[in-house]
């Protein structure tokens, strides 16, 4: 059980992203349709089953666990799961337990997250304009999220802001976002919009803002120094010399990051996706429920990792969307 997980391209799998729910209290236009049909609750893994699955991965060498959704903090009883996972931090087997959130529930849960050993979080925030925030999230309220971020800071959490770069939407907020993060002490990462799911009329291609262009705009105002730093994910970082702040770029389209991919994604129904940009997945729910013994589960995990591809097929370069995934981003947790 303790043998490390190595994929066909000699990459050690150290990072597991776990979607604990497909539900969310927002309906972001690049993530899901406004009128989503969510999974019946009976189809979701129980929190105890998620614990068992994550523990199996930790025993096989996963050192970083990121909890996602949907919005993970809307899942009923989710703090019992975080408390359970904290035992792997205490043992030293897990180096980091963290989450990505829309921030709406942080005012309620920030202190409990810290008590569970979480030290940093990612908050998805694409605009600081309340009207535009309501437009992009459909159901969200900016003041609630900003209050949540303040609560996270007060509890001692390090906050990284994730902003999806959207042409014609937040291009004019590039420098306001950078300046706000500098004042607040937040790191900031920009993400290219990915071709995931049918969004009911939203035009993926028209939303796409290449981060090569965004970076060039930053370089007009700041001196950028490339950093060798990696945080276990796909971001590549620069330092703005004038402010000292760190800016990340996640570029699945202009420059894919597949060569160093050390992560897999588990859905709330027990599907393991070896690549965000491929449809292939493995069903772990069946072996999980087939036996209280983990031997079959371990075998299924190792068989899945043996199918991990070299990379994804996302491509906008021909003014058409290639490699589009049929599932919504919320299904896999980003």
State the binding site for GTP: 17, 66, 100, 160, 263-265
Q: How far apart are CA 229 and CA 189, in angstroms?
A: 13
Which residues sit in the known binding site for [4Fe-4S] cluster?
24, 28, 31, 258, 261, 275
Burial of 210 (0-12, 13-18, 19+ CB in 10 A): middle
CA 101 from chain center: how many Å? Answer: 9
The CA distance from 134 to 223, in Å, is 34
Q: Which residues are annotated as a binding site for S-adenosyl-L-methionine?
A: 30, 70, 124, 194
Residue 204: which residues within 8 A CB-CB, separation 6 or more?
A: 193, 195, 316, 321, 324
CA–CA distance, 32 with 314 (Å, rounded to integer):
18
Annotated binding site: 17, 24, 28, 30-31, 66, 70, 100, 124, 160, 194, 258, 261, 263-265, 275
Q: In sequence order, what are the beta bridge partners of 265?
A: 17, 273
The Cα–Cα gap between 241 and 245 comes to 8
The phi, psi pair for 285, rounded to 5°, reads -65, -40
């Amino acid at each position: 059980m303790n043998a490390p997980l190595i994929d066909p391209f000699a990459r050690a799998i150290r990072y597991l992203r776990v979607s604990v729910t497909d539900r969310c209290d927002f309906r972001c236009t690049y993530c899901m349709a406004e009128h989503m049909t969510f999974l019946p609750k009976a189809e979701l893994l129980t929190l105890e089953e998620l614990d068992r699955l994550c523990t199996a991965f930790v025993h096989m060498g996963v050192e970083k666990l990121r909890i996602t959704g949907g919005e993970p903090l809307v899942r009923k009883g989710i703090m019992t799961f975080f408390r359970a996972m904290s035992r792997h931090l205490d043992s030293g087997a897990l180096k980091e337990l963290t989450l990505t959130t829309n921030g709406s529930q942080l005012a309620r849960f920030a202190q409990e997250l810290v008590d569970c050993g979480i030290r940093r979080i990612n908050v998805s925030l694409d605009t600081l304009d309340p009207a535009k925030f309501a437009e992009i999230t459909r159901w969200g309220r900016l003041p609630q999220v900003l209050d949540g971020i303040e609560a996270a800071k007060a509890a001692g959490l390090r906050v990284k802001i994730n902003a999806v770069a959207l042409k014609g939407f937040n291009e004019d907020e590039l420098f306001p976002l950078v300046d706000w993060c500098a004042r607040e002490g937040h790191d900031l990462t920009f993400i290219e919009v990915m071709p995931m799911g049918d969004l009911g009329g939203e035009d993926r291609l028209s939303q796409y803002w290449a981060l090569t262009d965004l970076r060039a705009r930053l370089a007009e105002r700041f001196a950028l120094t490339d950093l060798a730093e990696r945080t276990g994910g796909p971001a590549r970082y620069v330092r703005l010399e004038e402010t000292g702040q760190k800016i990340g770029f996640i570029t699945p389209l202009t420059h894919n990051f597949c060569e160093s991919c050390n992560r897999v994604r588990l859905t709330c129904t027990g599907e393991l996706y070896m690549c965000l940009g491929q449809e292939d997945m493995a069903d772990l729910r069946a072996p999980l429920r087939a036996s209280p013994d983990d031997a079959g589960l371990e075998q299924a995990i190792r068989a899945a990792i043996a199918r991990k591809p070299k990379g994804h097929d996302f491509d906008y370069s021909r003014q058409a969307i290639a490699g589009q995934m049929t599932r919504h981003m919320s299904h896999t947790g980003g």
